[in-house]
Amino acid sequence: MLELVDVSKVYKGGKRAVDGISMRLGAGLLGLLGPNGAGKSSLMRIAATVTRPTHGKVLFEGTDVVSRPGALREALGYLPQDFGVYPHLTAREFLSYLAAVKGLSARSARARIGELLELVNLTEAGRRPLGAYSGGMLRRVGIAQALLGDPRVLIVDEPTAGLDPEERVRFRTMLSDLAADRVVLLSTHIVSDIESVASDIAIVAQGRLLRRGSPEELLREVDGHVWETVAGPSGAAAMRERYVISRMIRTAGGTRLRLLSPTPPPEGDAVQVTPDLEDVYLAVINGPAARAPQAVGAARVTGGRVVTR
């Protein structure tokens, strides 16, 4: 349904935020994972027709929405990372205003707003001014507005920022349910936000798509490369210099380290452990493809396959 074809975005001053990314998305949830500053938000704005790419195409059901964005905008629900509200309006008034902008009738909007406020657990607060809401509550209003028109394409950028753990679990479950019959693109730098709901994961860094695959495919890449060991203070410091450390826990017997290495570290009695997605993520963003300069001739990844330019 939605396809990005060799999309790049270069801002004034020459900063390349997105570097030749191609992705095809059908029904289901794609988790876009990457560190802060990786270009995720720029890519999401391009996919949502908010920003025009410097190069490349965005196709929705075959239509180039860079030149004709209307087809996608009618089917789109979008929650940007920086979501603004009118502080003097109540949640119901704000959502009613946005529903009118989307073309919903007043009767349909009232019913839909009631459903969504219940979905995001804001029914009792629905008549309070948004200026009195906490950051987490405002994020939930943002989630509700993205779902107003029952969109066929849902793009959400860092949606769990400010949510407490219970709300995050609830939101991830909701996204998983929504992805059964629509395109859902979820951007985050928090691995736990996608590991339980995404059957398709893309990892980006420095504006490039480094890996894409199912969790099982990605986990196989680091199988046999994850170790745990216990070290004293000096040993732990030395190992942090030599290895990518995915976890570090201080205990009475020393510091327990979880690290990435193709061979067992010679220090201590390292035990090989089963990898998780956080290990995969750290291996990819600290790997040679992520460190390559953004220049002609640099390697990039398209659809999970390394190619060169």
Split the chain (309 residues) into runs of 10 and give each run's mean pLDDT: 96 92 95 92 95 96 94 94 91 95 90 93 94 91 93 91 83 87 91 87 96 95 94 88 92 91 85 95 85 46 34
SS (H, E, C) 126-137: CCCEHHHCCHHH
Smallest Cα–Cα separation from 19: which of 54, 52, 58, 60? 54
pLDDT attached to residue 163: 81
Distance of CA 168 to the CA centre of its chain: 14
Specify the pLDDT at position 268. Answer: 67
User: Strands (DSSP E) along 158-295, which ranges?
Assistant: 183-188, 200-205, 208-213, 226-231, 244-251, 254-260, 271-272
In this structure, is the dihedral angle defined by the CA atoms of residues 208, 213, 215 and 221, taken in order, positive or negative?
negative
Q: Whole-model pTM?
A: 0.86
DSSP-derived 3-state class of residue 203: strand
Q: What are the chain's domains?
A: 2-214 (3.40.50.300), 219-293 (no CATH)
CA atoms within 13 A on the CB side of 52: 6
- Paired residues of 76 in beta bridges: 153
Nearest to 116 by CA among 106, 126, 107: 126
* Residue 292: Cβ-neighbour burial (10 angstroms; 0-12, 13-18, 19+): middle
pLDDT of residue 76: 95
Locate tokens 């349909």: which residue?
108
How far apart CA 260 and CA 222 sit, in angstroms, is 8
Distance CA 46, CA 44 (A): 5
Cα→Cα distances 229→81, 88, 259, 279, Å: 38, 55, 8, 15
What was the pLDDT predicted at 61? 93
What is the rounded distance in angstroms from the CA atom of residue 257 to the CA atom of residue 136?
33
Task: Give the per-residue pLDDT at 295.
Answer: 40
